Structure 1
Amino acid sequence: MSSIENTQYHGPFLPTVGHTKESLEYAKNFSVKDSDVFVVTYPKSGTIWMQEILPLVLSGGDLTPIQSTVNWDRVPWLEETRLANVVDKMTSPRAMVSHFPYNLMPSSFHSSKAKVIYVMRNPKDVAVSSFYFHQMASFLEDPGTFDEFLDKFLEGKVLFGKWTDHVSSWKLAKLGDRILFLTYEEMVQDLGAAIRRMSDFLCLDLSEDVIQKIAEHCTFKSMKANTMSNFSLVSKEYMDIDKSPFLRKGVAGDWKNHFNSEQEARFTSVIQKELEAAGLSFPFN
């Protein structure tokens, strides 16, 4: 195993790439506006997809943002270094993404009316996607075998900690009508319907024509061909797309091609028990 330094921040480990003491301090003290919209995910749960969809929803279908601005500046991460560089250029409503659990959000978020779209994905697919990401990202440890990686995933010895802790922190947050829960799976099944839910949640009342236009431009195929979105502009020093493409498959259920029956039973049992302990149920097959 390679020894790669990560940053421990109030519990979870974060990659040192993009996450500095200064950027985390900036996030902690960030002044959240009532009009801000955050997409929050556990890593590998549809973050990049939402960086494509949300600007189009907020712009009423204007394609300019996704054609002219790289996604990490278009919808910056709250906790990463780029936010401080681009925040002054952002117009309201500002769209941001974060992998933070609820307790790490800035204090100004809790006192604001800012809205959150929390996207969940079947943790079995999250684990598979994360396994491949560890293979191609030079700033992450070699994942070892798939079985070894599953153990680390279940123990929370991965970036941003345990999946169950992350999901529970947001599911149990008392945010009322400030939060919308979506699943990656429902977006795959009917993206138009998911966009309609976002539109209603954000009180935008987009027409069906605009919703379908957004859905067409946010397919996996369109994103994979968009250099502003497919991470092909990232140096091979950080991500080697020859080892695994950053946008790999964009499907639901790929875990069935990787888990054996013993791994699936063990993985599901651990996840279900931890969610039940938090008073939650496991929403995936």
Structure 2
Amino acid sequence: MDRLDVAETFHGITFPGHLHTQETFQYAMSFKFQDTDTLIVTYPKSGTTWMQEMVTLVSSKGNPVRAQTQPNWMRAPWLEQYYCPQVLKASQGPRFLTTHLPYQLLATALQGTKTKVIYVARNPKDVVVSYYHFHKMANFLPNPGTFSEFLSGFVKGTVHYGSWFDHVKGWTSNSGNIHNFLYITYEDMSQDLRGSLERVSRFLQCPLVEEELTSAERSCSFSSMRENSMVNYTLVPKEIMNHNKGKFMRKGKIGDWQNIFSEEQSCSFDEVFASEMSESSLEFVWKNPEETSLNTWTDTEHLLRHAA
């Protein structure tokens, strides 16, 4: 199923047709979740692969064999992508699923279940930079144009998968409607991988002893994942994802946006962020803590900073 130049629009959001069809969206919306399921939810380039690896290693008690021998999209398939039904038919035990869909499209399917939902968020400036570079290598995504052009589309929510703001607000503001919900950030995982693994293991009710935790931490470090062909997408044919044009796992750094945003772009984005997130209490780490001590801003602090 190539369809590299095809885009699918569903509920006003554009998706790559290479992986999605109208039928797959309907499948996702009517999916029969089980109480033993775990659903990883992200906006693209927010730590999806990292969390897939973490839940694999936690559920395997730190044993890296499965993570090193089975592609991550088989371990935690995307609910809205065409191959999901076939993968689930062959799966055994508790199921791990992944989605980039907004809350409103899965709300009905999740209602009344005890499915565990892990929502991973990342500061949007780093998201847009990572997403921009991903468009350059992923042939199933449109040409991103200049960074300025791509940033404009990202802010407007016209890029593939829609608005980052709507996605994050939709899931987090409705977390009370989900029986088991864990919110964690990319920056949490980057700054405290071991602590993040412990949080995930508690949430999944799968406690790890010290040796298991150490093994899991070693296997899901960014450097380990970058070299693991089951994770880094080098198994995907170059016609679909051209690694000569970039790496799927590029840097994994906090604050990489500073290397591409102009000062004007940064200030303009901050204003949009403050407006869009004015009713949200979410906090994000915007810069590497080693570079600044003022790395976490609440929405109120954003407003005050730009009113000065």
Measured against the shorter chain, the TM-score band is over 0.9
Question: Is the Cα–Cα contact under 8 Å of residues 58 and 93 in structure 1 kept in the other structure?
Answer: no
- Once superposed, which parts of structure 1, at least 4 consecutive aligned residues long, lie more than 3 Å away? 278-282
In 2: Cα distance, 1:247 partner to 1:78 partner: 22
User: How far does the alpha carbon of each residue in 1:28-63 deviate from its partner, in whole angstroms, 9 at most, with x for none?
Assistant: 221100010011000000111112111111121222
1:92 aligns to what SS in structure 2? coil
Letter in 1 for 2:219: H
1:180/1:201 contact within 8 Å kept: yes
Deviates more, 1:74-83 or 1:3-12: 3-12
Residues 24 and 82 of structure 2 are in contact (CA less than 8 Å); yes or no, is this contact kept in structure 1? Answer: yes
State how far apart, in whole Å, the 2-side matches of 1:247 and 1:268 are: 26
* Separation of aligned partners in 2, 1:245 and 1:207: 34
Aligned residue pairs total 282
5 Å matches for 1:47-66?
47-66=48-67
Gaps of 5+ in 1: none
On the 8 A contact 2:232/2:249 being kept in 1, the answer is yes
Provide the rounded CA distance (Å) in 2 between the counterparts of 1:269 and 1:284: 17
> Does structure 2 conserve the Cα–Cα contact (< 8 Å) formed by 1:29 and 1:106?
no
* 1:216 to 1:281, Cα distance in 2 relative to 1, 3 A: closer
**Kept after mapping to 2: 8 A contact 1:116/1:180:** yes
Change (3 A) 1:273 1:126: same
Q: Equivalents in 1 of 2:282, 2:47: separation in Å?
A: 21
Give 1:25's aligned residue: 26
Q: Distance in 2 between matches of 1:10 and 1:280?
A: 27
- 1:114-139 per-position Cα deviation (integer Å, ceiling 9, x unaligned): 01110000100000001101111111
Does the 8 A contact of 1:31 with 1:108 survive in 2?
Answer: yes
Higher alpha-carbon deviation: 39-48 or 209-218: 209-218
How many Å separate the matches in 2 of 1:177 and 1:213? 30
Q: Please tell me whether the aligned partners of residues 6 and 13 of structure 1 are also in contact (alpha carbons under 8 angstroms).
A: yes
Provide, for residues 253-276 of structure 1, a one-character-per-residue CA deviation record: whole Å limited to 9, x for no partner: 111111111111111110121111
**Per-residue CA shift, 1:226-276, capped at 9, x if unaligned?**
111111111111111111111111111111111111111111110121111
Alpha-carbon separation, structure 2, partners of 1:72 and 1:49:
12
Aligned to 2:301: none
| Alignment root-mean-square deviation, CA | 1.6
Asked if 2 retains the 8 angstrom alpha-carbon contact of 1:272 and 1:282, the reply is: no
TM-score scaled by structure 1? 0.94
In structure 2, the partner of 1:270 is 272
Alignment of 1:128-147 (within 5 A): 128-147=129-148
Q: Which amino acid aligns with 1:103?
A: Q
Q: Aligned pair in 2 of structure 1 residues 187, 102: CA closer, same or farther (>3 Å)?
A: same
What residue in structure 2 maps to residue 222 of structure 1?
224
Deviations 1:108-164 (A, max 9, x none): 322210011100001000000011011111111111111111111000011111111
Q: Deviations over 1:210-236 (max 9, x none)?
A: 122101101122112111111111111
Find the aligned partners of 2:114 and 2:38 in 1 and give their Cα distance.
Answer: 10
Task: Return the offset for 1:171.
Answer: 1.0
**Amino acid of the residue matched to residue 142 of structure 1?**
N
| Percentage identity across paired residues of the two chains | 42
**Structure 1 residue aligned with 2:297:** none
Among 178, 181, 184, which residue is 2:183 paired with?
181
Residue aligning to 1:245 = 247
Structure 1 residue matching 2:8: 3-state secondary structure: strand
For 1:87 and 1:93, the matched residues in 2 are separated by: 10
Structure 2: distance between partners of 1:61 and 1:177:
27
What is aligned with 1:126?
127
Give 1:80's aligned amino acid.
Q
The answer for unaligned runs of 5 or more in structure 2 is 287-308
Kept in 1, the 8 Å contact 2:5–2:17? The answer is no
- 1:4 shift after superposition: 4.3
2:88 equivalent in structure 1: 87
Say which SS state the counterpart of residue 129 (structure 1) adopts. helix
Is the aligned partner of 1:259 residue 2:291?
no
